[in-house]
Amino acid sequence: MPVRVVVLDFDGTLIDSNQLKYNAYFTIMPDMDSGLIEEVLGSMFEASRYDIIAEILRRGQKEYMGKGGEMLQAKVNELAREYNNIVLEGACTCSEIPGAIDILNFLHSKNIPAYVSSTTPEVFLREIVDGRGWNHFFAGVFGFPATKEETLLRIMKDHGAGPEEVLVVGDGESDRKSAESLKTRFVPVKKGRFPVDDVMRLLAA
């Protein structure tokens, strides 16, 4: 049975922004130990930026903890705004992943619904898609706070599509896990190139 709905990760799958996002954490917290930031990013880079910032602050600076030991949310929000500004500007202009625009043009020409599913906050994700002039490519753009599993289930229900009719494409473990969870098809992005041939084979099956 051919694929009739495609769900795409964004950063590292359609645009070459992973390094930009990684570096932004060091920019917004210049006084924090770089080794600590690297350690947190190494274990939770695909988590939301709010969770990552909170974890870095929790490990690194006691003054950001309240009397009851809770994280001071105001500081997390402040740093997240700085992070969002850096990433928003860069993500609107950075290079596309090689092959990504080819598959987007193909899906659009064949009226195959394509969706974005990302851990980026949805409001900023929509700004980036709009800033790149890509709104016409997508039937929907979804991000944090929805999980990738929640987004995938919603898309499947909206289209009445079975698992074998849905393809997830992404470069992260969260993409693979969401596909496995709902038993959809999955194609990974490897070595910074979009897997055009693999996707095209599934679309033609």
Cβ contact 171:10 at 8 Å: no
Alpha-carbon distance 51 to 99, whole Å? 32
In the predicted structure, residue 69 carries a pLDDT above the cut 60: no
Report DSSP letters for 116-144, one per residue: EEEEEEHHHHHHHHHHTT-GGG-SEEEEE
The band of 13, judged by pLDDT with boundaries at 50, 70 and 90, is very high
pLDDT in tens, 130-180: 999 999 999 999 999 999 999 999 999 999 999 999 999 999 999 999 999
CATH of domain 5-16+95-204: 3.40.50.1000
Joined tokens for residue 158? 């909206």
Can you say whether the dihedral through the CA atoms of 47, 53, 57, 60 is positive or negative? positive
Lookup result for tokens 């009226």 = 111
**What are the tens digits of pLDDT across the range 89-141?**
999 999 999 999 999 999 999 999 999 999 999 999 999 999 999 999 999 99
**Confidence class for position 204, pLDDT limits 50, 70, 90:** confident
CA distance 15 to 12: 6
Q: Is the pLDDT of residue 64 over 80?
A: no
Q: Provide the residue ranges of all domains of the chain, joining segments of one domain with +.
A: 5-16+95-204, 18-93
Judge if the upstream peptide bond of residue 2 is cis by omega within 30 degrees of 0: no
Q: Locate 137 and state its tokens.
A: 């490519």
Amino acid (1-letter code) at residue 82: E
